[in-house]
Each structure stands twice: as C-alpha cells, then as structure tokens.
Amino acid sequence: MLTRGRLTVEGRLVDASNVTLFCSVELDGLAAQAVYKPVSGERPLWDFPDGTLAGREVATALLSEAAGLGRVPPTVLRDGPFGEGMVQLWVETGDEELIDVRSPKDVPDDWRIVLHAHDRSGEPAVLAHADHPGMRDLAVLDIIANNTDRKGGHVLVGTDGTVYGVDHGICLHAEPKLRTVLWGWVGDPLPGETLDKLRALPEKIRGDLGEQLAPHLTKLEISAIAERAEMLVATGVFPEPGDDWRAIPWPLF
C-alpha cells in the first residue's frame, strides 16, 4: 500500500525541522495514514549530503528489520505530490510516557536516569526513561545506525504497546555522531539474544542487506554499520558517550 497507494496530503506537522506532511494512502479500497517527507523539503545540513535524508530513513528501517533490533514503522521511498520522498506508516499512540524530565522524587523506581539538571526555577530535575525491552532494543539500533538525533519525541508507544522509533533522517554517517536520550543502560551487559543478532549482522551486510542499502548509502557508510556491530560484540556492553561529541540532543523533545 505505501509503495503503490494514492497519496493525498491532509496537513503538515509544523514542529518538524524538515517538511513533514500527514497523508492518507488508498489502494484497492483499503486506506491508511502516513507521513510523507519530500526530498525537496529537506533542510541542508553541514555534515550530511543534500537530498539524502529520505533515503537514510528507508535505510534505517531496512537495517532494523534485518537486524531484528528496534521497531521502525514500514517505510518506503517513492514519488509523491511534491516529488520523491520518504513515506512511513503513521503510528497511532496512546497516553503512555516512557521518556520524561521530572523531579527526582517523581521518577519511578524501575526507570533509568540519564542526567541530572535543574529546571527554570532552579529545582533539581532529571532526564529519565523506562527500562523497557523495546526501548533497549531501540538504543542498540541507535548505536549501530549512528543516530545523531534520538529525541524523546522520536520514541512512540503504539496503541498495541509496541515501542517504535521514528525520524531517522540523520543516521548512518560513517563518522561517530551518536546523540540520543537513551543512555540509561551505559555499562550494562548486552543481552545474549542481542549479541547473537549483532554477530549475524556483518554477514547480512555483505549479502542481501548491503545490496538493499546501496541505493541510499555510500560503501563507507555501509561498512561502518558492520564495524559498529562488531565493536558492540567485542565489548559486550552498552557504550559510554564519547568526549568529542555532544551526546544528548537539544531540544530533548
């Protein structure tokens, strides 16, 4: 449906950095809702080639599916009303919050604290997130995808309880650029099942997955994915933030 359905623009998400359009999709009597980000509406960035963000969204979805890590809504690259762009299935969300800035006394016992700060009144505050398996998998995906913009609003809880990651336009750079709010597992051992998935990933990249990624990424960017997976397997733990790059996105949401 996303690839061949008739795409009709219904509105615009005005808080997005790039042109992001809310659409309906119809095919053979079936209908769905989607997000459409035309390449023509991408804002130029100093460290990513122009016109590549839509392709990086598709590449991250392909990586997530092949690796079995994290959940990204179905995502395709196709023509639309404003030219070629990324089209992604819309996720209906509930009221559950998994990431928040709160007073330390209001943080649930089973949440992970990412950083301590103060609010505008000078009162203590913390950035924290739930210790949720779906979010943990998403944190691993962010590492191997080198996500440089995992804001709190880019983690969605669907009405079915599934945790989804969205907004992956500035991922998959060859140089280290990891920037995320999901730092709550620093130093923790990676689960055995996760390590098994990471061990299998380099071979997939040398095969069908690499061919699927090739239209969207350079050879260097593709090989860097395998290197990051191998690094995680070698260390066996969630890494700490580096010293040469701001590790937390701003704004946080």
What confidence tens digit (pLDDT) does each residue in 223-246 have? 999 999 999 999 999 999 988 779
How many domains, in total, are found in the chain?
Answer: 1
Domain annotation covers residue 1: no
Domain annotation covers residue 243: no
Domain annotation covers residue 95: yes
Q: If we measure between CA atoms, which residue out of 133, 148, 130, 243 comes closest to residue 190?
A: 133
Domain annotation covers residue 65: yes
Domain annotation covers residue 241: no
Domain annotation covers residue 63: yes
Backbone angles phi, psi at 246, to 5 degrees: -65, 120
Size (the chain), residues:
253
Q: If we measure between CA atoms, which residue out of 85, 21, 41, 48 comes closest to residue 170?
A: 48
Mean pLDDT value across residues 84-95: 95
pLDDT of residue 94: 86
Measuring CA to CA, how many Å separate 189 from each of 177, 202, 234? 22, 21, 11
With a cut of 90, say whether residue 253 has pLDDT above it. Answer: no
What confidence tens digit (pLDDT) does each residue in 150-205 have? 999 999 999 989 999 999 999 999 999 999 999 999 999 999 999 999 999 999 99
DSSP 1-14: -TTTSEEEEEEE-T
Q: Which residues contact 140 (CB under 8 A, 6 or more apart)?
A: 69, 70, 190, 194, 198, 232, 238
Domain annotation covers residue 191: yes
Residue type at 19? V
Would you state the structure tokens that stand for residue 154, as one six-digit string?
Answer: 């880019």
Domain annotation covers residue 245: no
Expressed as residue numbers, the domain containing 148 is 6-101+110-235
With a cut of 80, say whether residue 7 has pLDDT above it. Answer: yes
CA dihedral sign of residues 68, 177, 78, 19: positive
